[in-house]
Amino acid sequence: MATKEHSILIQASPEYLSELIVSGIREELKRIQLHFSEKSQNDELMTKKQVCNFLNCSSVSLWNWENRGMLNPVRLGRSIRYKKSDVEQFINRKTNK
């Protein structure tokens, strides 16, 4: 079934068109900024102890998951940290099975 398209022509000044474009760009930038600010909050680094408390597990379980490649740490010199977003993805994978 074919749909009828209707075109509406309106007269607009260049200033008005410019204002519409700038407004649309600002809205898109706000959306992108919100997306990245949420993402950066989830990329907070956690210690082994924090992850064990968060997952309510032992350090041995955490070590096993790391060795199986199920949870990958970030190594900063001698320090081992876990991205909060990775830990949350790990939880989601476990609960969706």
**Distance between CA 93 and CA 95 in Å, rounded?**
6
pTM over 0.85: no
Evaluate whether 42 touches 85 at the Cβ level (below 8 Å): yes
- Residue pLDDT, tens place only, 17-34: 899 999 999 999 888 887
Tell whether the model's pLDDT for residue 89 goes beyond 80: yes
Look up residue 71 and give its DSSP letter: S
